[in-house]
């Protein structure tokens, strides 16, 4: 098997558990995923099967989510998976209050990753330090790009909000929720998260996991990397195909530059780098 699968990860399941589930069904060990989803989160989890796992790093990195949050509370994890506590006064927000701060969370913004996250700090994962009660007070600030931050729904009585957020790689939606709550002076925790787009995959075309899923179902839903990777394709002739089998470079007759997906008879066979003169294969996608 070779290709990508657009999996719809259910809430309550880890991303690694999805991979274990698929390995068990297919009997294939070489399966990986792009863009880890926390157990609380559901939605699009791009999965690579077989040697397509070598192409994960070449997927687009932008993502889009629908996040549900509740005002009036805070959490050490910034979501309802952690220790949730009521925050301050029982202030009731209205839609105008929320609309007034949303623009502050658009474009390039700075955020501090949650203490309970997989970010590395001095050779350790932050969540490992947090569980040991050793949360550093100088977690590095990162810049992320928020392309869209729109209100989907607001229940003023329940003080619950849904946002649709499109963002760059490395964005923590939990942190956006937390920071909005701090900015409004009420606190906020994320209570649900659905990834609706990731790396060119969309939730409406995703495959749900179930105990009835078979190896044939997986095969039927495999996506050719040619159809999802946003990089130039280069159709090999027979001579060039023979050359790349040994990982050798060849003359660039199409003058394509940068990362190039080498294709033969509609199949991706290698990822390579190209300059005006030569194309050098980097990763072969066949044995």
In tens, the pLDDT along 224-271 reads 999 999 999 999 999 999 999 989 999 999 888 899 999 999 999 999
* Cα–Cα distance measured from residue 198 to residue 204, given in angstroms and rounded to the nearest whole number: 12
So what's the pLDDT on residue 112? 87
- Annotated active-site residue 38? The verdict is yes
DSSP letter string, 167-200: E-TT--HHHHHHHHHHHHTS-EEEEEEEEEEETT
Q: What angle do CA 131, 110, 104 make, to 5 degrees?
A: 120
Which residues on adjacent β-strands are paired with residue 124?
121
CB 7 within 8 A of CB 206: yes
Tokens 């990397």 belong to residue: 225
0.75 cut: is pTM over it? yes
To the nearest whole percent, how much of the chain has pLDDT over 70?
99
Tokens of 32: 């990986």
To the nearest whole percent, how much of the chain has pLDDT over 90?
80
Confidence of residue 146 (pLDDT cuts 50, 70, 90): very high
Is the pLDDT reported for residue 123 higher than 80? no
Is the pLDDT reported for residue 283 higher than 90? yes
Confidence of residue 113 (pLDDT cuts 50, 70, 90): confident
pLDDT, tens digit (0-9, with 9 covering 90-100), for 14-39: 999 999 999 999 999 999 999 889 99
Mean pLDDT of 141-165: 97
So what's the pLDDT on residue 140? 82
What is the overall mean pLDDT for the chain? 93
* Cα–Cα distance measured from residue 178 to residue 183, given in angstroms and rounded to the nearest whole number: 9
Tokens 């003359």 belong to residue: 251
So what's the pLDDT on residue 287? 61
Is the pLDDT reported for residue 91 higher than 90? no
Catalytic residue among 38, 57, 211, 227: 38
Mean pLDDT of 120-141: 77
Is the pLDDT reported for residue 133 higher than 80? no
CB 94 within 8 A of CB 184: no
Mean pLDDT of 219-227: 95
Long-range CB contacts for residues 271-276, cutoff 8 Å, separation at least 24: 271/54, 271/55, 271/58, 272/234, 272/244, 274/234, 276/252
Q: Using CA of residue 165, residue 43, residue 125, residue 53, what is the dihedral sign?
A: negative
């Amino acid at each position: 098997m070779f290709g990508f699968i657009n999996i719809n990860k259910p809430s309550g399941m880890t991303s690694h558990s999805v991979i274990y589930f698929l390995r068990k069904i297919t009997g294939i060990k070489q399966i990986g995923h792009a863009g880890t989803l926390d157990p609380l989160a559901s939605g699009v989890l791009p999965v690579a099967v077989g040697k397509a796992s070598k192409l994960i790093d070449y997927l687009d990195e932008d993502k889009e989510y629908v996040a549900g949050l509740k005002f009036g509370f805070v959490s050490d994890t910034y979501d309802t998976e952690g220790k949730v506590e009521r925050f301050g006064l029982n202030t009731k927000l209205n839609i105008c209050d929320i609309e007034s701060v949303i623009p502050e969370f658009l474009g390039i913004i700075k955020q501090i990753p949650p203490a309970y996250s997989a970010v590395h700090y001095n050779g350790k994962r932050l969540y490992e330090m947090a569980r040991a009660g050793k949360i550093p007070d100088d977690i590095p600030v990162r810049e992320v790009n928020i392309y869209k931050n729109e209100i989907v729904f607001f229940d003023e009585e329940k003080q619950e909000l849904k946002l649709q957020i499109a963002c760059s790689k490395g964005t923590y939606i939990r942190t956006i929720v937390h920071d909005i709550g701090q900015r409004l002076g009420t606190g906020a925790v994320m209570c649900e998260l659905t990834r609706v787009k990731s790396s060119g995959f969309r939730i409406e075309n995703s495959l749900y996991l179930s105990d009835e899923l078979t190896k044939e179902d997986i095969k039927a839903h495999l996506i050719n990397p040619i159809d999802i990777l946003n990089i130039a394709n280069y159709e090999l002739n027979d001579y060039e195909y023979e050359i790349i089998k040994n990982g050798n470079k060849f003359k660039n007759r199409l003058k394509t530059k940068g990362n190039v997906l080498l294709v033969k008879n509609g199949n991706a066979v290698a990822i390579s780098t190209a300059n005006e003169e030569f194309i050098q294969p980097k990763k072969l996608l066949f044995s």
